[in-house]
Amino acid sequence: MSRTVAESEPLMEQETRLSESQPAAAGTVRPGGRTAKVRRAVLEATEDALAATGFHALNMDHVAASAGVGKTTVYRRWGSPVGLVADLLRDMADRSLPASDTGSLAGDLRANAGLVLKTLTDPRMGAVFRAVIAAAACDEECAEALNGFYRARLEEWAPVIKRGAARGEIPPDTDGLELLRAVSAPLYYRFMITREPLGPEHAEQAVRAALTAAGGGVFTRP
Amino acid sequence: MSRTVAESEPLMEQETRLSESQPAAAGTVRPGGRTAKVRRAVLEATEDALAATGFHALNMDHVAASAGVGKTTVYRRWGSPVGLVADLLRDMADRSLPASDTGSLAGDLRANAGLVLKTLTDPRMGAVFRAVIAAAACDEECAEALNGFYRARLEEWAPVIKRGAARGEIPPDTDGLELLRAVSAPLYYRFMITREPLGPEHAEQAVRAALTAAGGGVFTRP
């Protein structure tokens, strides 16, 4: 991940609830160190704000106050609301959950669709996802970070497809990422585009449609 | 369509380039009348602004100036930027293009996917769609209008599925709207969610995946 200018400079503000930690040395970001704690507090406050009021109302001063971090730190390190959203997305990519291994491709894809469904229908996380997708529509840095989040998630789940192909459950030359996209797309489509109700029946249908198409060779590489 | 309070009141401002038209009588909206011309000019200016700078920068005063319509009219009739976007979506729903009739279901679905692809990859319309979807993430009135737009579009294309089923190209009890959603979802997913490149190969794959799943009975009603 590229580092910001602020991360290369010594932290100067001490007006923070986190001041019991030692400031990180210039140019270092230790996990659990002060810089990491400040980032964690600011990204949690950003997520809270996105869940509560969405991207259009995201306010740097409120995030700083809610995180207990000095405004100057937040402005210097993140720059703008889109800087906060982009960093939140990079953090979400780093924290992406490992893929399932249920023993069958259908089982793994059901687990995958179930996770997507659970996230999008969760009142807090659904609102956060709507907000970061809206932010990406408004800003190129957020769009790249959103793309990076989904790339990380797809790569995390790619082994599921390889194992399924090795077990002969789909054609061996299936493009695994295309199959994974086919599972998620119908759920996001209802959630974000057509704004239609989303339930377990749609997750199940998405898995069946993706597996049927894969079995028919639709996702095999040319 | 529900009418706004402003539409039930006589128009009082005359500070407009459209003032050569006669004001509509209170409570009437004649196609081609002054109220309709004002709406057309304001919605075109809204679309221009969304294409140029997105939803987050949509400004009522700029839209009024660019439409050559008095600010007071715009504020009274549309109320806010989200009011403009919601009305633009209602207008887009009314202007939804009729469905294709190529003689085969695959041909009609290819035409459908081609239209979606053309719209989303068009620099102007792609930006407008990103903006209205982002607006819907921020505001419930926009979300309902977005849902209405896609409902109108799906209903417009539903006969394509009925004709395909009558010709025996898919199982007779196929849920046509689900099949149509399956064609669009992968294209919107790349365009709006994962922010990945989108090309004719994805439109073709979406059609093949949807038809294969439909042929396998995935979209038949329970």
Confidence at residue B148, expressed as pLDDT on a 0 to 100 scale: 96
C-alpha atoms less than 13 angstroms from C-alpha of B91 in its C-beta half-sphere: 18
Confidence at residue A3, expressed as pLDDT on a 0 to 100 scale: 35
- Distances, alpha carbon B120 to alpha carbons A161, B195, B197, in Å: 29, 12, 11
pLDDT tens-place string over residues A12-56: 332 333 333 344 444 445 567 889 999 999 999 999 999 999 998
- Higher per-residue confidence, A57 vs A12: A57
Alpha carbons B14 and A39: distance in angstroms, whole number: 54
Q: Taking CB atoms and an 8 Å cutoff, what residues of chain B touch A154?
A: 194
Q: Which residues contact A73 (CB under 8 A, 6 or more apart)?
A: A6, A11, A13, A16, A38, A64
pLDDT tens-place string over residues A108-135: 999 999 999 999 999 999 999 999 999 9
Confidence at residue B222, expressed as pLDDT on a 0 to 100 scale: 81
Alpha carbons B12 and B43: distance in angstroms, whole number: 20
Residue A81 touches chain B, beta carbons under 8 Å: no
Q: Where do the CATH 1.10.10.60 domains begin and end in chain B?
A: 9-87
- Higher per-residue confidence, B113 vs B25: B113
Instruction: Report whether pLDDT(A5) > 50.
Output: no
Please give, rounded to a whole number of angstroms, the shortest distance from the CA of A41 to a CA of chain B: 24
Residue A178 touches chain B, beta carbons under 8 Å: yes
Residue B30 binned pLDDT confidence (cut-offs 50, 70, 90): low
Confidence at residue A97, expressed as pLDDT on a 0 to 100 scale: 81
**Would the CB atoms of B188 and A185 count as touching at under 8 Å?**
yes
**Would the CB atoms of B146 and A193 count as touching at under 8 Å?**
yes
Q: Taking CB atoms and an 8 Å cutoff, what residues of chain A touch B213?
A: 208-210, 212-213
Instruction: Report whether pLDDT(B97) > 90.
Output: no
Instruction: Report whether pLDDT(B8) > 60.
Output: no
Residue A220's DSSP bridge partners are A174
Percent of chain A predicted with pLDDT > 70:
86
Q: Mean pLDDT over residues B200-219, rounded? A: 98
Instruction: Please tell me the CATH code under which domain B96-215 is placed.
Output: 1.10.357.10
Q: Where do the CATH 1.10.357.10 domains begin and end in chain A?
A: 96-215
Looking at domain A9-87, its CATH superfamily turns out to be Homeodomain-like (1.10.10.60)
Please give, rounded to a whole number of angstroms, the shortest distance from the CA of A127 to a CA of chain B: 8
Residue B204 touches chain A, beta carbons under 8 Å: no
Instruction: Report whether pLDDT(A10) > 90.
Output: no
Instruction: Report whether pLDDT(A163) > 80.
Output: yes
Q: Mean pLDDT over residues A210-217, rounded? A: 98
**Would the CB atoms of A150 and B55 count as touching at under 8 Å?**
no
Confidence at residue B29, expressed as pLDDT on a 0 to 100 scale: 54
Residue A59 touches chain B, beta carbons under 8 Å: no
Residue B120 binned pLDDT confidence (cut-offs 50, 70, 90): very high
Instruction: Report whether pLDDT(B121) > 90.
Output: yes
